[in-house]
Amino acid sequence: MPANSSSVTETRAASNKVIGLGIAAIVAILLAAAIFLFATLPNANAFNLRVEQLFIESDLTTRAEIGLLEVLAQSGTAFSEVLTSYRVIIFVLLVFATALLIACVVLLLAIVTLNRRMGEIERSGIQVTSLVLARAENAVMLNDIELKLTDAAMETLAVLAEARLDGDMLTGAQIEAVITGKPESDCEEAAGATRIKRLRDTLGNQIVTHLLIRNITRQGYVLALDPKVIRML
C-alpha cells in the first residue's frame, strides 16, 4: 500500500510539472507571436507624418491644394484609428487563444490521468474508497456496499482496522490476543489465522453476491455483468 501511495504521489507531481511546462510553453509561444505581430504592424502615425512632411516641403498656395492636404490628413487620422483598433482586436484574440489552449492542455492531461487511473482500477479490481464499521449493528459499508458480519468477524475486522490506522501489522497470535484479552504467549497463530479465514469467507461471499452473482427473486441466479465481456476458452 505505501508503494502504491508513493507511485500515485509521484504520478501527480509529474503530471503537475508537465501541466506547468505546457502552460508556460503556450504562453511563451503566444507572447512571441504577439510581439512579432505588433512589431510588424505599420506605424499608425506613418501616414500623418508623411502628410506633414509634404505640407512642410511643398509650396502650397491655392485653397484646393490646402484642402487636398486636409483631406489626406483626415484620411491618415482614420487610418491610424483603424490600426489602433486592429491592435486591440489582435490583443483580445491572443488572450482568448491563450485561455483556450491552456484549457485544452489541462483537459487533455486530465483525460489522460483519468484514463490511467481507470486502468489502474481495472487492473487492481475493487477500489476501496471508504470503509465504515458499524459495530453496534455488525454492519460494514464497503464503498456503497452494505455487508453484514457475525460478531466474531466484526471483532476481527475492527482489530485489523485499528491496527491499519496505527500503521501496525498483526500476526495471527496478536489478533487472537487482542480479541480474547489473553497474553500473546498463550495464543496460537492458527487461531488468529482461522479468524482471518472466516472473515475472508464472509466478506468474499457477500461481495461476490453484490458484484457478480445476483439472486433474482423467484427467477434464479444470474451473473451481473455484460455478456460481451465473457470469454470461454
SS3 sequence, the chain? Answer: CHHHHHHHHHHHHHHHHHHHHHHHHHHHHHHHHHHHHHHHCCCCCHHHHHHHHHHHHCCCCCHHHHHHHHHHHHHHHHHHHHHHHHHHHHHHHHHHHHHHHHHHHHHHHHHHHHHHHHHHHHHHCCCCCCEEEECCCCEEEECCEEEECCHHHHHHHHHHHHHHHCCCCCCHHHHHHHHHCCCHHHCCHHHHHHHHHHHHHHHHHHHHHHHCEEEECCCEEEECCCHHHCCCC
CA distance 178 to 34: 71
CATH architecture of the domain with range 131-229 = Orthogonal Bundle (1.10)
Q: How much is the pLDDT for 197? A: 93
Cell numbers 508556460: residue? 24
Report the pLDDT value the prediction gives residue 71, as an integer from 0 to 100. Answer: 67
Q: Of 178, 136, 182, whose CA–CA distance to 156 is shortest?
A: 178
Q: Is the dihedral of CA 64, 65, 69, 70 positive or negative?
A: negative
- And the C-alpha cell for 187? 495464543
Residue 218: per-residue pLDDT = 78
Q: What is the pLDDT of residue 25?
A: 79
pLDDT at 49: 67
Domain ranges in the chain are 2-124, 131-229
The pLDDT value recorded for residue 232 is 78
Task: Output the pLDDT for position 1.
Answer: 44
Tell me which residues of the chain have a pLDDT lower than 50: 1-6
